[in-house]
């Protein structure tokens, strides 16, 4: 399906983000054009310094754009939009609050009645295998369990848009694989719109409907690649010729861009 012929849930049009240290303009993002359909899973892949996280922060309304346009559901993003959840690389859990209380922070920030969301919080924790740990404290959990809790927190208010900024980058390889699989399973059951930032070629291909490959200096989109692999995807799909062909193509893009891609797995 041609992405230009379908309605855009998130739409960046000639987006620029410019910083001016010492008066010299530096483009963190230049002429970024991106359309994300509702319910689509997008991976944004690129080397450090290419503007991946800056793009995510702009979509989240945490950074203002310098020029161009950026909309969600046709409305300009000038502040954090309603119906959005964010997961960062660090879980940012509060060690003095239980796992359940950490998840319920999302409702508290929005000044929603805690009692109205406790049942959903428990259900989301159960979805990620944490119901039995909801009265534990973050310091009692493994890194993978803490990151599951942070995803639960982002999903509490049933957001339409889920933004994820390298959420598994600090985890060991086996835990990362497990959470990749669980994230895919959750996405298939909820069909949230997901924008997922990563350094890993393998992770980007495994999770996404489309991979957005970014270049740096200035940060821009080098290529968009549709991932035509059946779902649900077992982890073993990464060993197939079709998967390998996507990975080889992306490595070729980075090679032509002069990028040595250290973060790939």
pLDDT digits (tens, 9 = 90+) for 88-113: 888 899 999 999 999 999 998 888 88
pLDDT at 262: 46
Judging by DSSP bridges, how do beta strands 41-45 and 67-72 pair with one another? unpaired
Q: According to the model, what pLDDT value does residue 24 have?
A: 81
| 67-72/75-76 β-pairing | antiparallel
How confident is the model at residue 171, as a pLDDT? 87
107 vs 19: CA distance, rounded Å? 34
pLDDT tops 70 at residue 169 = yes
When pLDDT is cut at 50, 70 and 90, the band that residue 233 belongs to is very high
Three-class DSSP category at 13: strand
Residue with tokens 């000038």: 78
Q: Residue 265: which pLDDT band, with cuts at 50, 70 and 90?
A: very low
147: helix, coil or strand? Answer: helix
Cis (ω within 30 of 0) for the bond into 108? Answer: no
Tokens of 242: 């079709």
Pairing, β 41-45 against β 220-226: unpaired
Beta strands in the chain (DSSP E): 10-19, 26-36, 41-45, 67-72, 75-76, 84-87, 161-165, 193-198, 210-215, 220-226
- Per-residue confidence (pLDDT) for residue 208, from 0 to 100: 97
Quick one: CA torsion of 173, 58, 12, 76, rounded to 10 degrees?
Answer: 140
Q: Tokens 């060993």 sit at which residue?
A: 239
Per-residue tokens: 155: 């999903």
Hey, how many other C-beta atoms are within 10 angstroms of the C-beta on 169? Answer: 15
Phi-psi group of 69: left, alpha or beta (phi > 0 → left; psi -120 to 50 → alpha; rest → beta): beta
The phi and psi torsions of 224 (rounded to 5 degrees) equal: -115, 130
- With bands split at pLDDT 50, 70 and 90, how would you rate the model's confidence at 263? very low
Q: What is the pLDDT of residue 140?
A: 96
List, for residues 120-146, the tens digit of each pLDDT value: 999 999 988 899 999 999 999 999 999
- SS3 of 45, please? strand
Which region, left, alpha or beta, applies to residue 49 given φ > 0 means left and ψ of -120 to 50 means alpha?
left
Domains of the chain in sequence order: 3-83+160-257 (3.40.50.300), 93-158 (no CATH)
**Residues 180-210: tens digit of each pLDDT:** 999 999 999 999 999 999 999 999 999 999 9
User: Which DSSP symbol is given to 172?
Assistant: -
With DSSP H G I counted as helix, E B as strand and the rest as coil, what are the percentages for the chain, rounded to 5? 40, 25, 40
Whether the predicted pLDDT of 156 surpasses 50: yes
Can you read off the two tokens belonging to residue 171?
Answer: 């985890």
**Sheet containing strand 26-36, strands side by side:** 26-36, 10-19, 67-72, 75-76
Per-residue pLDDT reduced to its tens digit, 69-94: 999 999 999 999 889 999 988 889 99
Q: What is the dihedral of CA 232, 238, 243, 246, to 10 degrees?
A: 110
CA–CA distance, 165 with 261 (Å, rounded to integer): 18
Q: Examine the pLDDT at 251 and tell me if it is beyond 80.
A: yes
| Per-residue pLDDT reduced to its tens digit, 6-63 | 678 999 999 999 988 777 888 999 999 999 999 999 999 999 889 999 999 999 999 9
């Amino acid at each position: 399906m041609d992405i230009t012929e379908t309605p855009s849930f998130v739409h960046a049009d000639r987006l620029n983000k410019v910083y001016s240290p010492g008066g010299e303009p530096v483009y963190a993002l230049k002429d970024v054009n991106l359309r994300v359909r509702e319910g689509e899973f997008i991976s944004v892949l690129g080397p450090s310094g290419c503007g991946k996280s800056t793009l995510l922060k702009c979509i989240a309304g945490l950074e203002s754009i310098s020029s161009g346009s950026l909309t969600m559901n046709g409305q300009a993003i000038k502040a954090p939009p309603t119906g959005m959840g964010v997961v960062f690389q660090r879980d940012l859990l509060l060690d003095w609050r239980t796992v359940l209380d950490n998840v319920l922070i999302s409702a508290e920030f929005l000044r929603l009645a805690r009692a109205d969301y406790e049942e959903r919080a428990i259900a989301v924790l159960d979805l990620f295998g944490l119901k039995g740990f909801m009265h534990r404290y973050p310091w009692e959990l493994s890194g993978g369990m803490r990151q599951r809790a942070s995803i639960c927190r982002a999903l509490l208010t049933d957001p339409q848009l889920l933004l994820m900024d390298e959420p598994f980058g600090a985890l060991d390889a086996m835990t990362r694989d497990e959470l990749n699989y669980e994230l895919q399973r959750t996405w298939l059951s909820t069909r949230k719109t997901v924008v997922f930032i990563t350094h890993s070629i393998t992770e980007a291909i495994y999770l996404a409907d489309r991979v957005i490959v970014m270049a740096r200096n200035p940060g821009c989109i080098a290529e968009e690649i549709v991932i035509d692999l059946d779902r649900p995807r077992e982890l073993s799909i990464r060993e197939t010729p079709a998967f390998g062909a996507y990975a080889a193509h992306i490595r070729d893009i980075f090679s032509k861009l002069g990028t040595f891609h250290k973060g790939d797995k």
